[in-house]
């Protein structure tokens, strides 16, 4: 278990807050090669008596409402020289623990976490890369684009709330980004999949990274399997969150939900 302190916070868009962490035990941080590397952070309810860093034993006898809430967050950037770890949080209002923590975060605030996990990296053996995600996946998409060379081609579908909510994404040279706006979408969960269906893909082989809201990810997965012949079982496709579910509620049903998609 590690912890770090907030160094500074940047507002990247009306809906995304970048929190840059430093210090604490970050000198022991073991970076991963995955561009979707994530930490499992523990967010404390506001009135929890716990203080970071805490040990497992400190949880003994602690009331349920005071216990830390585990949430996964992607490492947007790890600057090993400066020892700074950046995470881009969706600022989705007061509900929950993680997004609201990021919106309140001040220099010196502490966050405890373990990890990193992660498994995707743009494959060097394909002709181009397909990356699809909403705000929760823009950190991973940004880190993936940052890892490309100027000759590497990528097609990105990035979902945000409305015009003006776009986030700066790296473009080493041959990246095409199509922004999709929820407020302009029909109330249909397949709207992101429909945008893909309406797009002519570049020629050649491609790898796939699709993450974000469960229903939207599910529809994209079906579209890629049915219309593009993608082997979705070996692609990096999974839902990061589920509308109208807290992370605890979502984790309880996620496995079953995923099995029903296959």
The residue among 3 and 97 lying less far from ligand FAD, judged by its C-beta, is 97
Separation of alpha carbons 63 and 61, rounded Å: 6
| Tally of CB atoms within 10 A around 53 | 13
Using rule CB under 6 A, residue 247 touches ligand FAD: yes
Considering only residues 63, 95, 198, 259, which one is a binding residue for ligand FAD as defined by CB under 6 A?
95
Considering only residues 18, 71, 129, 221, which one is a binding residue for ligand FAD as defined by CB under 6 A?
71
Using rule CB under 6 A, residue 74 touches ligand FAD: yes
Q: Which residues pair with 37 in a beta bridge?
A: none
Q: Which residues pair with 11 in a beta bridge?
A: 17
Size of the site for ligand FAD (CB under 6 A): 26
Considering only residues 2, 6, 19, 98, which one is a binding residue for ligand FAD as defined by CB under 6 A?
98
Long-range contacts of 124-127 (CB under 8 A, 24+ apart): 125/205, 126/204, 126/205, 126/206, 126/207, 127/153, 127/202, 127/203, 127/204, 127/205, 127/206
Binding to ligand FAD by CB under 6 A, coded x per residue (else -) over 133-162, reads: --xx--x-----------------------
State both tokens at 85. 């770890």
- Residue nearest ligand FAD by beta-carbon distance: 96
Residues that bind ligand FAD (CB under 6 A): 38, 71-74, 87-90, 92, 95-99, 135-136, 139, 240-247
């Amino acid at each position: 278990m590690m912890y770090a302190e907030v160094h500074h916070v940047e507002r990247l868009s009306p809906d995304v807050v970048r929190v840059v962490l430093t210090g604490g035990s970050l000198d022991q941080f073991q970076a991963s090669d995955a561009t979707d590397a994530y930490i499992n952070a523990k967010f404390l309810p506001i009135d929890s008596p716990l203080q970071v860093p805490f040990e497992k034993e400190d949880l003994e006898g602690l009331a349920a409402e005071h216990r830390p809430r585990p949430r996964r967050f992607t490492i947007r950037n790890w600057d090993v020289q400066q020892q700074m770890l950046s995470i881009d949080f969706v600022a989705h209002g007061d509900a929950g623990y993680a997004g609201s923590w990021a919106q309140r975060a001040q220099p010196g605030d502490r966050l405890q976490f373990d990890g990193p996990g992660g498994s995707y990296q743009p494959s060097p053996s394909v002709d181009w890369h397909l990356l699809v995600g909403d705000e929760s996946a823009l950190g991973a998409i940004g880190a993936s684009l940052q890892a490309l060379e100027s000759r590497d081609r990528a097609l990105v579908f990035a979902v945000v709330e409305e015009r003006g909510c776009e986030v700066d994404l790296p473009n080493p040279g041959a990246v095409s980004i199509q922004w999709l706006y929820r407020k302009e979408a029909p109330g249909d969960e397949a709207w992101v999949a429909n945008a893909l269906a309406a797009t002519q893909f570049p020629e050649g082989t491609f790898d796939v990274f699709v993450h974000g809201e469960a229903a939207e990810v599910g529809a994209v997965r079906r579209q890629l399997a049915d219309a593009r012949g993608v082997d979705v079982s070996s692609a990096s496709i999974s839902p990061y969150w589920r509308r109208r579910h807290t992370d605890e509620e979502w984790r309880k049903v996620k496995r079953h939900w995923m099995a029903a998609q296959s």
